Amino acid sequence: MSTENAISVRQWLEKYHACLQGPKDFVAQFGNDWYDSFFSDSDEMCHRLSPFAKLAEAITDPYILDNYYIWFYEHDLPLSGKPYDDVRFDLLPGERNKQYFLVRLDCAGWKKWSLFSERYGFFAPEFECGNVRSMAEYIDGMGRQFAQGIKPTFLSEKWAVERFIALQDGLFCDRVVYRAGEHRYQYHSSNNPKLRTAIVVSASEKLPDGFPLEQAKEIRGILVWSPDGMERDEEPYAAAQEKQRPKKKEGAER
């Protein structure tokens, strides 16, 4: 999206409220805010914008309100589930510095509201919830982190889990790592399709009760343990390797 006429989230809300109270020509006022989508019905656009306007109204952090602009994307042909929309939060002209994020509404496979960020990666949500208030509170927290240059702990934990998976699979990690609560992550091993869990603890902190230190792997000061086991599934792995070996031609050996 072009930033030539971009306005802050706070200014966008003022424009939105003015449109509600005026002639309500949403197509003329907000048509350019949608990427590669065209509307002819102002009532339809008003209906589509309404939940995202409620989200923006619930945000209180000044860093988000004054340093970001928003634009919208229509997923009319998703790979699964019904069509859905998302709102993109992009920094006003300047470097993104991994502060770009988007919020999807009613995307199949996730909760009602799901947030995907540049800092966590776009293959799994950084955060998801069932109501607009919780999403706004999370975005407020992100704004405080961005303003103060704070790197949340879960980013280092995710990196450690990815290294843990690489050790487990013996391959470069291309697995998607999902957040599953505080210090808890889930992923699929390439050797086992079952969804696995990884629990993460700082090596410098007191271990929680029941955490088996002897079974954990320490990765740059972070302990990672999977209650599903660390060992590779050796038999399927060996069988797969055997299939890949070229068969010797008869009479080739002397």
Quote the domain boundaries for residue 215.
153-231
Strand partners, 121: 117
Q: What was the pLDDT predicted at 250?
A: 47
The answer as to whether 119 is a domain residue is yes
* Residue ranges of E strands in the chain: 34-35, 68-75, 84-91, 101-105, 113-117, 127-129, 178-179, 184-189, 192-202, 217-219, 222-225
Mark whether 66 and 159 lie in a shared domain: no
For residues 69 and 82, is the Cβ–Cβ distance under 8 A?
no
Least confident of 23-27, 59-63, 135-139, 239-243: 239-243
The answer as to whether 31 is a domain residue is yes
Average pLDDT, the chain: 87
Mark whether 61 and 133 lie in a shared domain: yes
Mark whether 65 and 116 lie in a shared domain: yes
Mark whether 170 and 105 lie in a shared domain: no
The answer as to whether 183 is a domain residue is yes
Least confident of 64-68, 117-121, 127-131, 167-171: 167-171
The answer as to whether 241 is a domain residue is no
Number of domains composing the chain: 2
Mark whether 144 and 115 lie in a shared domain: yes
User: How far apart are the C-alpha atoms of 31 and 45, rounded to whole Å?
Assistant: 8
Last residue in a domain, options 92, 115, 148: 148
Q: What was the pLDDT predicted at 254?
A: 37
Statement: residue 77 has pLDDT above 90: no
Tokens of 116: 């995907």
Q: Which amino acid is at 46?
A: C
Mark whether 24 and 83 lie in a shared domain: yes
Mark whether 160 and 206 lie in a shared domain: yes
Mark whether 18 and 135 lie in a shared domain: yes
